[in-house]
Every structure is written in structure tokens, then in C-alpha cells.
Amino acid sequence: VPRHRLSDEIEKIVQEHLKFDLVDDFNSNIWELLAADGEMKVYRRELEENGIVLDPLKAVHSVKGVTGHEVCKYFWDPAVRMEWEGTLDSSRMLEALSDDTLIFNQVHKRVWPAAQRDTCFWSHIRSVSKENKNDLDDWIVVNYSTTHDSAPIKEPMIRAWANVALICSTIILNRDKYADLSSVPRENLVCKITYVAQVNPGGWAPANVLRAVYKREYPKFLKRFTQYVMDKTKKLPILL
């Protein structure tokens, strides 16, 4: 795997996500259910630092008819970002550090009365093999804020910081019916999605405004993005 200036940081952050995100800590009462819609459940923890809302967010979802590779690929692919993202004014891919690591600069739609935010983050995609060799690999995308010469912080824009992971497992129903996995019909696929996001809005924003944005936008984003992947893949051969 080609190494680059961010390889060490990426390895550290990705391993942290793989170690902590899939722990089923929902029965402890640290998570508060923010929204539920069918298989999708969105939780938050209330966390503030110097009066700034940092509420960690964790969501789980189960989507029929797609693979984890497909979900992660569409989440990572710069070419389709504006097709499913509804909260951005713009998204620019600044640099490709390798074939699995890109750097983005994104401008978020302004949320009155807060100042407009932008983000600059590396986005890394990889497969993670499972203990049971019969299982399909998991797939993960991590979006983690970084700096870049082509994304200077320019007032009045405020730089927000994000640490986000999308982790997907693929389950094949009636697995023993198929010798060749690429012939599995889509109705026998279930993708288990875990999405975690920790955002620092980067400067003061009214706590009630931020919490209202989180409550409204995260469930909408997860519903819209997963529907987008189902629509894009329904007529395509499955990507394992």
C-alpha cells in the first residue's frame, strides 16, 4: 500500500474507529435516541466544551439490497458527492494522496443565525477482513479533519472540525444456496451500517440552534444517502 505524509495518522484514527465504533453500548444509558425510522436509529450524547456543543452522534441502520462495499464507495466517491449531499454549497476534492485517500474542502449551507462553516478533511476507504473467512469483508470510510494549503481559513467562514466513520457489514441470506457469491440476488443482501460523527462547529453557535440542526439533518442525511445508494445500485451487478 503506497505510503504518504498522512499514512501514520490515518492508521491511528482508522484503528480507533474499528476498536470503538462497533461496540454495542446502546443498553448503557449514555446514548439518547434522537430519531428512529424503520431500521434506522440515530443516537446522540450531550457533550459541551466551553459552551460549545460537541454532541457525539451514533447511528445504526440496516439496508436491504446493497453491499457494504457499495455503500462505502458512494460515500467516498468525490464524483457523486453533490448528488446525495443536501447540506453543502460546494465540495472540492483538493488532492488524491493515494487510490484510497483523498482530501476534500466542503462549504456547508449557512444555518441562520450562525456563521457559515467549511470543513477540510482527509477521506480514507478500506476493506477490513472478518475473523470468519466465510464472511464478506467489512468496509469503512473515515472522514477526519486536516489542514491543506489549498483550503486557507477565510473569514467570515468558520472552519468546523469533523471525525466521522461509516462502517458497513454485508450479510448474505440463504448463503449456502450460492456457490458463486457474485450471483447472489440483491434481495438476499443486507447491509448493516454504523455511522459515527463527532463535529466541532469551530466557533460559538447557539446550543439550541446546533442541537436542532443535528436533530433535523443527521436522520435526513442517513435516509437520503442510503436511499440514493439503493437507487444507484438496483440495476447494477453487485459489488462485493
Ligand X SMILES: CCCCCc1ccc(-c2ccc(S(=O)(=O)CCO)cc2)cc1/C=C\c1ccccn1
Q: Under the rule (CB under 6 A), what is the footprint of ligand X?
A: 85, 87, 106, 108, 111, 114, 117, 119, 143, 160, 162, 164, 197, 199, 201, 205, 210, 213-214, 217-218, 221
Nearer to ligand X, 184 or 221 (CB): 221
CB of 21 to ligand X, least distance (A): 13
Residue 42: name the closest of 196, 150, 199 by CA: 196
SS3 content of the chain, % helix, strand, coil (to 5): 30, 35, 35
Nearer to ligand X, 162 or 189 (CB): 162
CB of 187 to ligand X, least distance (A): 28
CB of 224 to ligand X, least distance (A): 10
Nearer to ligand X, 163 or 172 (CB): 163
Cβ pair 185, 146 in contact under 8 A: no
- Report residue 14: phi and psi, to 5°: -65, -45
Sequential DSSP letters for 47-72: -EETTEE---EEEEEEEET--HHHHH
CB of 10 to ligand X, least distance (A): 15
Q: How many residues does the chain have?
A: 240
Cell numbers placing 122: 482527509
